[in-house]
Amino acid sequence: MSRAEAAPTVRPVSPWWTLGLLRNELTTTFRRWRTLALLAVLAGVPILVGIAVRIETGDGSPPGGGGGEGPAFIAQITNNGLFLVFTALAATLPFFLPMAVGVVAGDAIAGEAGAGTLRYLLVAPAGRTRLLLTKYATVVLFCLAATLVVAVSALAVGALLFPLGDLTTISGTRIGFAEGLGRALLIALAVAASLTGVAALGLFVSTLTNSGIAAMATTVGLLITVQILDQIPQLHALQPYLFSHYWLSFADLMREPVYWDELRKNLGLQALYAAVFGTAAWARFTTKDITA
């Protein structure tokens, strides 16, 4: 037998197989009770905010007595329920949304290793790089799904408890309800994009351990630490490089004209975090001894 005849045949991985792997990952992720519980909590936040504003403004006074407390959009909710979408996203973005993403990302690789299923996944023809990319794509799609859950829940509650119609931008100009819905969608997409840096960080942490709980706790702990650092005035030189620094820049989409500077900085920063920690996760995962 010649050497050419003895060489094994390497078959390329079909794109359809890759899509099937992604579909399987999405199905597995969104069927977990933990994921459903996280989405339920996120959907409940706009409900609580809407009910609280409705109760507090039952006498027609502005929320918080008009003292300017709370998110910038909250005083406008009673005039237009669409503002509940912006308020809910502003309320969930600092902690609830990134925490949910951190839990899913932290469990992506470490959870498989802890359950003893990671070796079986690697037996398939995908390879480590393709599996890692599929895991990250799944987490990014969860970022989008989680953000849309908050936005849709807020829109439904806002329509139920408050009037809808034309709305006033931060700049004081009036826009139609249809344009307001379009901006709400853009804001939801901007918030989802703001979470991609956390997703890459969580995926990297997930490659460092075989314990899903440890990876999730570490990711959430890093998230809290970064949030604290972003509030210390003495660290102002460092803060523009923290992934959470420009998160609330989505409010600039409610200006007329739209201010794009900080939005671009936010997207660029998230892309940088995704590239750095995505590369680190790849370097770690492709050289890691898989024992579970």
How, if at all, do strands 167-168 and 174-175 pair? Answer: antiparallel
| Predicted confidence (pLDDT) at residue 89 exceeds the cutoff of 50 | yes
Query: Which tokens go with 217?
Result: 């706790």
Q: What is the mean pLDDT of the chain?
A: 86
pLDDT band (50, 70, 90) for residue 193: very high
Residue 7 lies in a domain: no
Give the model's pLDDT for residue 30. Answer: 93
Residues in the chain: 292
Residue 12 lies in a domain: no
Cα–Cα distance, 15 to 22 (Å, whole number): 11
Give the model's pLDDT for residue 179. Answer: 92
Give the model's pLDDT for residue 18. Answer: 67
Range from 20-24, 54-58, 102-106, 284-288 that averages highest in pLDDT: 102-106
Give the model's pLDDT for residue 20. Answer: 75
Total domains, the chain: 1
Residue 28 lies in a domain: yes
Residue 2 lies in a domain: no
Cα–Cα distance, 164 to 63 (Å, whole number): 18
Residue type at 198? V
Per residue in 201-225, pLDDT tens?
A: 999 999 998 888 999 999 999 999 9
Residue 242 lies in a domain: yes
On whether the CB atoms of residues 112 and 121 are closer than 8 A, the answer is: yes
| Predicted confidence (pLDDT) at residue 4 exceeds the cutoff of 50 | no
Supply φ then ψ for residue 171, to 5 degrees: -80, -5
Range from 42-56, 73-87, 140-154 that averages highest in pLDDT: 140-154
Residue 283 lies in a domain: yes
Residue 10 lies in a domain: no
Residue numbers of the domain that contains 191: 20-287
On whether the CB atoms of residues 127 and 282 are closer than 8 A, the answer is: no
Mean pLDDT computed over 182-194: 95
| Predicted confidence (pLDDT) at residue 55 exceeds the cutoff of 80 | yes
Residue 1 lies in a domain: no
Cβ contacts of 134 within 8 Å, gap of 6 or more: 18, 21, 22, 25, 126
- 3-state DSSP helix/strand/coil % of the chain, to nearest 5: 70, 0, 25
On whether the CB atoms of residues 97 and 42 are closer than 8 A, the answer is: yes
Share of the chain above pLDDT 70, in %: 86
pLDDT band (50, 70, 90) for residue 118: confident
pLDDT band (50, 70, 90) for residue 116: confident
3-state secondary structure of 175: strand
